[in-house]
Amino acid sequence: MAKVLSSTALSDNETAMPAASASLLQRLACWESFLLLVTVAVFFINAAASPYFLDVWNLSDATFNFTEKAIIVLPMAMLIIAREIDLSVASIIALSSTLMGFCAQQGMATPALVAVGLASGLACGLLNGLLVTRFGLSSIVVTIGTMSLFRGITYILLGDQVLNQYPASFAYFGQGYVYWVFSFEFVLFLGLALLFYIALHRTNFGRRTYAIGNNPVAAYYSGINVNHHKLVLFVLVGVLSGLASILLTSRLGSTRPTIALGWELGVVTMAVLGGVNILGGAGSISGVVIAAFLMGLVTFGLGLLNVPGIVMSIIIGVMLIVVISLPIISKRLLAKRQGGAG
């Protein structure tokens, strides 16, 4: 009887072990869970590597490394899910900042400067959206063109000037704190992330976004105004780019033609790292939020170790390749295990 029980227990253990392994692989296959695991690992590695990392004020400073880009990636994720993209976001920031700088020189108060920043971002996003939806042009081609257009206008208006005559109250947006170590930028990002999470995952607007991304023709014949929906998304990207321009200009306290140069790559990378399918139809706000924290922790930790910028770029590139590859490998291993069990 004891032998029967022991052999039965052994058999149960043998079947339980592959089941546990399969369960682990399934959890790893979940993009958000895997990213969260990597983010936690990076946090502890940074804590072990630098004695200054766990200081609460240093952690607060770390949020400035990613909040402005992360604010843009929220609507960008929805736009990519809908099979479009905007590569002009960094140039929109530069143009919005330039217009705010000239208005500040004319003595405009802080509320008016905020309105100028948001309005200029809205106008740029509207232009991109109209060119794509009204003329049927490729969003990649259009936004590469407007990327050069907006940045070129910035260089023409500024030349080699630096505009820094902003009102003292304007500094709060990029340098102020809501409570203790929680900056205005960070709190604003968390609030916007919650709003975009609800919009994408809990409303008809979000369902229409996924429907367009999966099959725009079917979405059209089901009654969705595809072009109008995409136009709204382009405008949202423009407005949030204008908002990021306000925050970045406020934090730097100045405007120059090279402001936010190269940010478009960082924003798109953050979206893809967060699990947004570059071909459209899939992605989540929670994934891009985790990706924003991950990239912020990596860049801040490397900065504390005085790692040169070029080396930092290489490390981030390798990290991106590894993080993208491992879930795919885990899914293949899971499929092989299930095939072997069958």
Q: Does residue 160 carry a pLDDT above 90?
A: no
Q: 61: buried, middle or exposed (CB in 10 Å: 19+, 13-18, 0-12)? A: middle
The 3-state DSSP class for residue 279 equals coil
> What is the residue extent of each domain of the chain?
37-334
Q: Does residue 19 carry a pLDDT above 70?
A: no
* CATH of region 37-334, choose from 1.10.3470, 3.80.10, 1.20.1440, 1.20.1280: 1.10.3470
Structure-model confidence comparison of residues 61 and 230, the more confident one: 230
Alpha helices in the chain (DSSP H): 2-29, 31-49, 56-62, 67-81, 89-105, 110-135, 139-158, 172-175, 184-201, 204-214, 216-221, 226-252, 263-273, 285-304, 309-341
Quick: pLDDT tens for 181-191.
999 999 999 99
Q: Does residue 244 carry a pLDDT above 60?
A: yes
* Least confident stretch, 14-28, 220-234, 319-333: 14-28
In the beta sheet, which residues pair with residue 179?
182
